[in-house]
Amino acid sequence: MKTFLASPALVLISVVCLASASFAQGATPILDRGQNGWTSETVADGLDYPWDVVRDGDRLILTEKAGNVVIVDNGEIRRFAVETSAPLRAEGGAGLLGLALASDFSESGRAFFYYSYEAESGPANRVVSASFDGSAWRETGILVDAIPGHRLYNGGRIAIGPDSHLYVTTGWTENYDLPQNLDSLAGKVLRVTLDGEVPSDNPFAGSPIYSYGHRNPQGLAWSPKGELFVSEHGQAALDEINLVEAGGNYGWPGIQGNETRDGMQTPFVHSGNSTWAQSGIAFAGEELLLAALQGRGLYVLDQENRTLRPVFETGERYRQVLPVGDDLYVITTNRSPRGQGPSSDSLIRLSPTP
């Protein structure tokens, strides 16, 4: 196990100071601030395709898809390789993707990862538990295995919901049959306990499937009312934000956009003929934020008009957003899964302009 301290390619520009456990929205809603209502500061640069960012007290913890975890803590950056039970498959959009921390992570070191590997049957993904002892991250158990994988479409977001269960997004793997097939884990949102068991109140008895008919979902967020929103990439346009309910069928590949079909749900909002390629999403108070790759910036959902408005744009591909206090943290993945674009990425803090 090798542990690396910050190198010249990974330079701390400013100290992360995180004091509030939840977003404390200022007097002006994000929707009304406009793009001139924020100042930006690079917290860390030299990152290598970061995919997720979470918070533990004053620390920010990030995954890099090549297999590393980066911790930003009190002005110091540390990078660790994650010890996994199978070699990581990091081609294209595959790799070490989603990360969630147990509620007692500060004491137990328990966490959860979504990562890609090569199974005997081909590309696959799994959800695992892991532990961090202060010097190494090690896989400790497999919660969900043999999720169909792909070079590009792996889903990959995981999050612990208000019900204390683990939610997982999976990609469709470019197979038009699998998202509608309840015997396959591809193109789904899954729900399991933190020990990998199927909850007794899941919509399909004995199955981890919570909803289906998804294409490549990469965002999970709950509103203050407990509503689950899921973001997913469309085929060429028609990116979607779905308001997801247990057992719901969200249409792919049968319908998209405003199309309808019995038994299938239309999206809460979609991008029409343009594309946002939104990935991570998060609620800041009652406002839903979206980190957009193709849209190259951070957006907020205008729920009344069912559209997105830009919050902040730097011309970079934004992968995930994390509200902390009145600030918003975003990570970039400027290199596309197809290998195009610059390889250096950043963690950026957006602060409201006084």
> Rounded to whole angstroms, how far apart are CA atoms 199 and 2?
37
pLDDT of residue 27: 58
Region 97-121: mean pLDDT is 97
Region 113-127: mean pLDDT is 98
Is the separation of the CB atoms in 219 and 231 below 8 Å?
Answer: yes
Checking if the pLDDT of 35 tops 70, the result is: yes
Is the separation of the CB atoms in 13 and 319 below 8 Å?
Answer: no
Higher-confidence residue: 21 or 85?
85
Structure tokens at 221: 């967020």
CATH number of the domain located at residue range(s) 36-56+85-352 in this protein: 2.120.10.30
> Rounded to whole angstroms, how far apart are CA atoms 208 and 186?
12
Ranges of each domain in the chain: 36-56+85-352
Taking only the tens place, the pLDDT of each residue in 319-342 is 999 999 999 999 999 988 887 777
Q: Give pTM, 2 decimals.
A: 0.92
Checking if the pLDDT of 21 tops 50, the result is: no
Higher-confidence residue: 266 or 26?
266
Taking only the tens place, the pLDDT of each residue in 210-268 is 999 999 999 999 999 999 999 999 998 999 999 999 999 999 999 999 999 999 999 99
Is the separation of the CB atoms in 47 and 70 below 8 Å?
Answer: yes
Radius of gyration of the CA atoms of the chain, in A: 19
Q: What angle do CA 137, 104, 282 make, to 5 degrees?
A: 85
Is the separation of the CB atoms in 44 and 10 below 8 Å?
Answer: yes
